[in-house]
Every structure is written in structure tokens, then in C-alpha cells.
């Protein structure tokens, strides 16, 4: 189609509401799915709006019908109690993938997180590959390893084409010293999703979701291989970050301080 139709789950979340207008400006039509969120996607901001849970098979079946690709952002985005993480992030991902198979939708982009490998040490003088082994730092991070692994099963057993994005810190600004390494601008996020949904990107891919930060720890090679060419660099914020925080680091791990929160306690 001339204007491919994307389902964006979690479209009313912090990332979704920044991503959706950029995707629409880039020529995509967007169907959104999210919980009834105050201030969520309003009429006119998406081409089609569906309200419901990604764990609700009936809603998800309607959501995936006829779309060219799915961008799966829905889920809890931080540490939460085990049953909630399991239901929203793990079961919700299964409901979605299973619905895609039954509907004949083959292309899925999965929003994973650096916290899937959050206990990995920060490298010096080298960049971590995008397929760095799982080393979750939290139930939240573990749920992303489970989601990645479930996606892989659906690639291998059901013929889906999945791009897993191990997203760093996708916010308006890097926020702190760690963010100078982990930041991904919203514009680069839209570039990455645009590259990932392209039909010629098939099979299994796992890439870092990060901008071209001077201080990044993560390889851009895997992203470049699918056509992601980031244009932003957190270095433009470095002076103000160091002025506010000083050069000292918090933790020596990719996932920063997530490992300091007791498992299952909201952070």
C-alpha cells in the first residue's frame, strides 16, 4: 500500500504519543491500541483508535486485522509486582503474537529494553553488540527477555518477521550522565521504527535503540544493517548535564540503578 497501516500498541504511553505523530508525518496510517488513559490518543491524532488491553484477545484480534505491521510498545515500563509484569508484558505479548499469526500479519516490532541486559558491565573502548546475552536487572528487565525469546519462537515456528529494539532512554533529554550514553531521541526512534517495519527486513533482528551518541556503549552496526541511520547525538546536552550533576557516575552497569530497587517494588 501507498500508506501502510501500522498498529501501535501502547500508543498513549510516553513513547507512543511521541512516535505516532512522527510516523503519520512519515506517511504511515496508524491504528492505536491502549488502555483508557486520561489524555490518551484523541480522535484525530490517530487514524483509528481502539481502547482496550493487549491481554484481551477479542480487542487484539480486532486491532491486528488488516494491518501491514505491528509496533508493540504496550506494557509496564518499569519495575512492578510480579503478577502485573507477567500479565501485561509477557502474556500481553503472547496474545498479540498469537493474534498476528491467526490474522496473517507477519511483521512485528517489539519494544524491548536495555534492562534485558541491565546487569552487563559498561564496556570501555569497545561497543556492546546488540545480541549481548540476557542479564536482566529486574522483573521488568526479565519480562523483556521473555518477550524477546517469545518473539524468537514465533519467528522460528510461525514465520513471523520480528525486529527487537533494545531501547535505551527515549526521553526529550538525556536526563543525566548515564543518559548521555543511553539516550535515543524521539526523531531517531521514529527513524528506527520506520526502518524496522520495512517489508524487506525479514526473519529475526535484534538492534539497540540508541542515538548516535558520542558516549554510547552500544553498537549501531546491527541497526545500520536494517537501514537505521540515527542523526542525533546527546553530546549537545553534555555541558548542561555535567553542570547539573557533575561527572560522577551512579552505577557501573548498563541498566544503571534498576538493580537497587528490590524485585517487584515499583521504581
Rounded distance between C-alpha atoms, residue 14 and residue 130, angstroms: 24
DSSP assignments along the chain, one per residue: --S-EEEEETTTSTTHHHHHHHHHHTT-EEEEEE---TT-PPBTTBSEEEES-TT-HHHHHHHHTT-SEEEE--S--S---HHHHIIIIIIHHHHHHHHHHHHT--EEEEEEEGGGGTTSBPPSSS-B-TTPPP--SSHHHHHHHHHHHHHHHHHHHH--EEEEEEE-B-SSS--SHHHHHHB--HHHHHHHHHHHT-TT--SEEEEEE----TT--B--HHHHHTT------GGGGHHHHHHHH-S--S-SBTTGGGGGSPTTS--
* Nearest CB to ligand 15L, comparing residues 75 and 100: 75
Tell whether residue 77 is a contact of ligand 15L (CB under 6 A). Answer: yes
CB closer to ligand 15L, 53 vs 114: 114
> Of the candidates 55, 113, 213, 219, which one interacts with ligand 15L according to CB under 6 A?
113
Minimum gap (Å) between residue 256 Cβ and ligand 15L: 6
Q: Which is nearer to ligand 15L, 46 or 117 (CB)?
A: 117
CB of 87 to ligand 15L, least distance (A): 17
Does position 169 interact with ligand 15L (CB under 6 A)? The reply is yes
Q: Per CB under 6 A, does 114 bind ligand 15L?
A: yes
Of residues 139, 140, 186, 228, which has the active-site annotation? 140
Inter-CA distances, 51 with 28, 33, 41, 92, 203, Å? 20, 6, 9, 15, 30
Nearer to ligand 15L, 68 or 131 (CB): 131
In the shown chain, the binding pattern of residues 172 to 191 toward ligand 15L, with x for contact by CB under 6 A and - for none, equals: ----------x---------
Which among 5-13, 24-32, 39-47, 108-116 is the span making contact with ligand 15L, rule CB under 6 A? 108-116
Q: For ligand 15L, which residue of 17, 31, 115, 191 counts as binding (CB under 6 A)?
A: 115
Stretch touching ligand 15L by CB under 6 A, among 33-41, 67-75, 98-106, 111-119: 111-119
Q: Is 166 in the site for ligand 15L (CB under 6 A)?
A: no
Contact region for ligand 15L (CB under 6 A) — 20-28, 65-73, 92-100, 113-121? 113-121
- CA neighbor of 97 nearest in space, from 72, 128, 122: 72
Identify which of residues 115 and 135 has a Cβ nearer to ligand 15L in the complex: 115
Whole-number Å distance between alpha carbons of 153 and 74:
20
Near ligand 15L by CB under 6 A, which window of 49-57, 109-117, 205-213, 245-253? 109-117
Q: Is 140 annotated as catalytic?
A: yes
- Residues forming the site for ligand 15L (CB under 6 A): 77-78, 113-115, 169, 182
Enzyme catalytic residues: 140
Amino acid at each position: 500500500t501507498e500508506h501502510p497501516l501500522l498498529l501501535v500498541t501502547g500508543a498513549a504511553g510516553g513513547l507512543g504519543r511521541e512516535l505516532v505523530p512522527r510516523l503519520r508525518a512519515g506517511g504511515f496510517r496508524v491504528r492505536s491500541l491502549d488502555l483508557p488513559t486520561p489524555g490518551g490518543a484523541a480522535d484525530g491524532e490517530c487514524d483509528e483508535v481502539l481502547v482496550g488491553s493487549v491481554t484481551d484477545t477479542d480487542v487484539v484480534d480486532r486491532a491486528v486485522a488488516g494491518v501491514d505491521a505491528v509496533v508493540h510498545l504496550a506494557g509496564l515500563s518499569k519495575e512492578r509486582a510480579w503478577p502485573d509484569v507477567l500479565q501485561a508484558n509477557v502474556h500481553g505479548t503472547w496474545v498479540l503474537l498469537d493474534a498476528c499469526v491467526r490474522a496473517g500479519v507477519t511483521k512485528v516490532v517489539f519494544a524491548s529494553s536495555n534492562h534485558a541486559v541491565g546487569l552487563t558491565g559498561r564496556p570501555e573502548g569497545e561497543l556492546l553488540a546488540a545480541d549481548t546475552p540476557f542479564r536482566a536487572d529486574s522483573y521488568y528487565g526479565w519480562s523483556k527477555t521473555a518477550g524477546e525469546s517469545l518473539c524468537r519462537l514465533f519467528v522460528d515456528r510461525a514465520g513471523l518477521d520480528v525486529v527487537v529494539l533494545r531501547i535505551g532512554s527515549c526521553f526529550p533529554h538525556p536526563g543525566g550522565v548515564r543518559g548521555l550514553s543511553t539516550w535515543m531521541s524521539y526523531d531517531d526512534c521514529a527513524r528506527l521504527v520506520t526502518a524496522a517495519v520495512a517489508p524487506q527486513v525479514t526473519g529475526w533482528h535484534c538492534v539497540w535503540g540508541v542515538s548516535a551518541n558520542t558516549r554510547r556503549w552500544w553498537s549501531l552496526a546491527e541497526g545500520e544493517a536494517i537501514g537505521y541511520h540515527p542523526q542525533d547525538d546527546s553530546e549537545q546536552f553534555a555541558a548542561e548535564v555535567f553542570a547539573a550533576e557533575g561527572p560522577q557516575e551512579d552505577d557501573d552497569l548498563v541498566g544503571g540503578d534498576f538493580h537497587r530497587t528490590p524485585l517487584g517494588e515499583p521504581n
